[in-house]
Structure 1
Amino acid sequence: MSAHESAPLTPAQRDLMEIVWAEGEVTVSEVRDLLEAKRNLARNTVLTMMVRLEERGWLQHRTQGRTFVYSAARPKTVSLGMRVSQMVDRLFAGSPEDLVTALIEYRGLTAAETRRIRSMIEQAEAKQKQSGQRRKNQS
């Protein structure tokens, strides 16, 4: 993946992708109509944005008659992950531990949030362990 493809979404691109993620499949005209509440964009501007997002791997399309119907090629979690990674790098000097410390000390966690996070950590550890075993067995 090139730097251009992996670059985070701009605010305008994010607004557009939020519509695609929410709707599932959309046409350029549908996106323009739904964006109109936030931004007054010409149809050609929306089309250009969508073509560029497709080039970068965020969107894909199928043809229905003479119309392109777009859908997300990447899940929303990819965008969120990129933004969180950027935030950790920028605000916490690349330290996930400092991010978690700030979250716990300044916001706090409910018991339910703590359980879910603990479960997520356990699942990530199990996944890492399985991945390490596979690599060891392939050697």
Structure 2
Amino acid sequence: MKDLTKAEEQIMQIVWEHDKMFIKDIVDQMPDPKPAYNTVGTFLKILETKGFVNREKVGNTFSYSATVKKKAYTKKSMNGLLSNYFEGSAEKLFSFMMQEKKLSPEQVEDLMQKLEDHE
């Protein structure tokens, strides 16, 4: 599975939330300033080439749907994050998040409980 650029990922986040979408619908869901219709169309062609979306002819236009599940891409991204920045250690990731105050003590406790339940 290939990596996505930030712009591609932004489009995929929208596509993942819906079953099938037209370019106009994707543009409508994007934050201001909205990109041009043709720009989104170009990114969708790239995403189709990368295998992330499927294009289906509907009348004289196309609808797009995700072919890669969000969970699969999230897993790949998180594994890359762990490998590239935390030496493959989830413990180092959580330690970093605690130091940066990204996790509250309650969230840490909840994670600990989930880990215990998983064992």
Q: Same fold (TM over 0.5)?
A: yes
CA 27–105 in structure 1, closer or farther in 2 if over 3 Å, else same: closer
Per-residue CA deviation, residues 38-75 of structure 1 (Å, 9 max, x unaligned), is 44311111111001101101101222212211111011
| Cα offset, 1:84, TM superposition | 1.0
**2:112 counterpart residue number:** 114
Quickly say closer, same or farther: Cα 1:104–1:30, change in 2 above 3 A: closer
| Match of residue 14, structure 2, among 19, 31, 52 | 19
Of residues 13, 29, 32, the one that matches 2:24 is 29
Change (3 A) 1:39 1:104: closer
- Aligned match of 1:40: 34
- Paired residue type of 1:49: F
Distance 1:25 1:52 in 2: 17
Q: CA deviation at 1:118?
A: 4.2
CA contact (8 A) 1:9 1:79 kept: no
* 1:110 partner amino acid: E
Structure 2: tracts of 5 or more residues without a match? none
In structure 1, stretches of 5+ residues that fail to align are: 1-5, 123-139
How many Å apart are 1:91 and its aligned residue?
1.6
Structure with the greater alpha carbon radius of gyration: 1
Letter of the 1:91 counterpart: Y
Aligned position for 1:60: 54
Return the TM-score normalized by structure 2. 0.76
Aligned pairs, number: 113
Q: Is residue 2 of structure 2 the alignment partner of residue 7 of structure 1?
A: yes
Determine which of 66, 73, 77 is the counterpart of 1:79: 73
Shift of 1:88: 0.9
1:85-104 → structure 2 map (5 Å cutoff): 85-99=79-93, 102=95
Identity of aligned residues (%): 26
Letter in 2 for 1:8: D
3-state DSSP of counterpart to 2:3: coil
TM-score (norm 1): 0.67
